[in-house]
Amino acid sequence: MFEDLLKRLGVGPVESGACHVRWIEDPGGEEIASLNPADGRPLGRVKLASRAVYDEVVGQAAAAFANWRMTPGPRRGEVVRKIGEELRKHKADLGLLITAETGKIRSEGEGEVQEMIDMADFSVGLSRQLYGLTIASERPRHRMMEQWHPLGPIGVITAFNFPAAVWAWNAMVAAVCGDAIIWKPSPLAPLTAVAVQKIVARVAEQEGFPGVFNLCLGSIEDVGEPMLNDARLPLISATGSCRLGYHVAEVVGRRLGRTILELGGNNAVIVAPSADLDMAVRGIAFAAVGTAGQRCTSARRLIVHESLYETVVGRLAKAYATLPIGNPWDDGVLVGPLIHEPAVEAMQSALRRAVEQGGEVVAGGRRLDRPGCFVEPALVRAKPGMAVVAEETFAPILYAIPYREIGEAIAIQNEVEQGLTSAIFTRDLMEAERFLSPEGSDCGIANVNIGTSGAEIGGAFGGEKATGGGREAGSDSWKAYMRRQTCTINYGTDLPLAQGVRFDV
């Protein structure tokens, strides 16, 4: 099944991991295998880019940028529109490849491609709306204005769990902003990156703009670290763990480069006494076990009013007992495998520590006795202050914590270092508004009566505190991919100075 799929996408058994105006053949390049997490079998192989290849890619991207930045925004939008059209044609195949490489179920694999298409559409509109302000000048016959210029070639580092969408959040917007993009994808999902690059590079070349979209998949030593240290890249957008973010902030900050950091989450759902429980249980289950708990927005903590605690835990435990777990490409399956063995081990270790710290596993948690990285999503009774609850374990573990009053619930929700997404189920207007107020959730995303995962692209996506503070996708996130210039124009014959300063020479 997957051999035919790769053929349809034009992906061969051994592919190059680097492409600028053309694919780069590097006979000596080290090879990595892409493994299907559902059975551990190799799907294909990719050759890593060397340090020399990295330098070549950045050089070409800089050359392409010189031309792209002077191309009118709407023309850049036209190229992105054509990329969106090509992605539409390949939606089913790309979606299945994402399923094969990451283990997410079919509808989520295709949903990820839809997200790329939506980002292309959004960015086409944006290409005619890169607005600056005009500003009232205090000096006669002077005009002030702000304009937004392209920033440069930029580096985009992506995580394994959204191997295509995260690239699109950055690349589609950055492209209409006039930047060239160098993509370093996760080595855990290399074929998705190669397949996307094949489509995108083809369109860019047909449109006369080769070298705007570049791929450079290599080791941390040969590509990752050089990228962070490279003064030719004014912006590094990095998506991954908080640990990665601390490092990227330090290294890029040392050269005063810009960063967009999209890091880990430890997201909570509050269930208040007035909640619609049917809605809450469905919303929590999707957020906690969807994508096998491998979304940055997955619900990891459940903060339930003490009057409902037993009911909610009981209903979730019942739902967990019948979850369809299996091959992610099979109809009806809702939970696929974890990405690899270390993820299974991390989950088992977290559950052991939860029990040592006073928690109780009330549903799931076992590894399935079959090939592949399959686990049962786990539901754990927990208490505030358990150290393991403060960590992001990238697996389906939901810690249920009781609370007495809403202020306490919000305090528990905010006490972790991450600040990505948060939700409350309530029909009490005052409680909902308090949750959304300055003394409420401290996260970048706060939802009422929906779960924590499944954000739409129209809003700015990202989180506070150790989640990194970056914003991507919709709203005015585009500003991070451009440089702002404030211009003052004197159309008079005098030279009045600001603040009334006199300087007659």
| List 77, 240, 257, 364, residue binding ligand NAD (CB under 6 A) | 240
CB 262 → ligand NAD: shortest distance, Å? Answer: 3
Strand ranges for 174-228 from DSSP E: 180-184, 213-216
Among 245, 268, 236, residue whose Cα is nearest residue 445? 268
263 counts as binding ligand NAD under rule CB under 6 A? yes
Sign of CA dihedral 439, 445, 446, 452: negative
Of 115 and 431, which CB lies nearer to ligand NAD in the complex structure?
115
Strands 421-425 and 18-19: unpaired
CB 134 → ligand NAD: shortest distance, Å? Answer: 34
CB 159 → ligand NAD: shortest distance, Å? Answer: 3
CB 357 → ligand NAD: shortest distance, Å? Answer: 22
Q: Is 489 helix (H, G, I), strand (E, B) or coil?
A: strand
Give helix then strand counts, H and E, for the chain. Answer: 14, 23
CB 346 → ligand NAD: shortest distance, Å? Answer: 10
Rg of the chain over Cα atoms, rounded to whole angstroms, equals 24
Which region among 39-47, 112-120, 137-145, 259-267 touches ligand NAD (by CB under 6 A)? 259-267
Which region among 42-50, 208-216, 241-249, 276-284 touches ligand NAD (by CB under 6 A)? 241-249
Of 23 and 246, which CB lies nearer to ligand NAD in the complex structure?
246
CB 490 → ligand NAD: shortest distance, Å? Answer: 45
Query: Quick one: DSSP state of residue 238?
Result: E
Active-site residue numbers? 262
Residue with tokens 């699109």: 168
| CA 82 – CA 466 distance, rounded (Å) | 37
- The token pair at 79 is 């190229």
DSSP bridge partners of 464 = 419
Of 165 and 319, which CB lies nearer to ligand NAD in the complex structure?
165
228 counts as binding ligand NAD under rule CB under 6 A? yes
| Residue span 149-188 as binding mask against ligand NAD, x where in contact by CB under 6 A, dash where not | --------xxxxxx---x-----------------x-xx-
**Contact by Cβ (8 Å): 218, 224:** yes
**Contact by Cβ (8 Å): 191, 143:** no
54 counts as binding ligand NAD under rule CB under 6 A? no
Of 158 and 259, which CB lies nearer to ligand NAD in the complex structure?
158
Sign of CA dihedral 23, 24, 27, 28: negative
CB-facing half-sphere around the CA of 331: CA atoms within 13 A:
0
Largest CA distance in the chain: 88
244 counts as binding ligand NAD under rule CB under 6 A? yes
CB 342 → ligand NAD: shortest distance, Å? Answer: 9
| CA 478 – CA 472 distance, rounded (Å) | 8
Contacts of 238 (CB under 8 A, 6+ apart): 157, 244, 245, 248, 259, 260, 261, 262
CB-facing half-sphere around the CA of 174: CA atoms within 13 A:
30
| Residue span 296-315 as binding mask against ligand NAD, x where in contact by CB under 6 A, dash where not | x-------------------
CB 257 → ligand NAD: shortest distance, Å? Answer: 13
| List 123, 239, 259, 393, residue binding ligand NAD (CB under 6 A) | 239
Q: Measured between alpha carbons, how far is residue 309 from residues 270, 272, 379, 423, 424 in Å? A: 11, 10, 13, 17, 15
394 counts as binding ligand NAD under rule CB under 6 A? yes
| List 14, 52, 135, 220, residue binding ligand NAD (CB under 6 A) | 220
Of 214 and 426, which CB lies nearer to ligand NAD in the complex structure?
214
247 counts as binding ligand NAD under rule CB under 6 A? yes
Number of residues that bind ligand NAD (CB under 6 A): 28
Which region among 46-54, 108-116, 236-244, 283-291 touches ligand NAD (by CB under 6 A)? 236-244
264 counts as binding ligand NAD under rule CB under 6 A? yes
Which region among 75-83, 235-243, 282-290, 425-433 touches ligand NAD (by CB under 6 A)? 235-243
- The token pair at 489 is 């124009």
- Contact footprint for ligand NAD (CB under 6 A): 157-162, 166, 184, 186-187, 220, 224-225, 228, 239-241, 244, 247, 262-265, 296, 392, 394, 420, 467
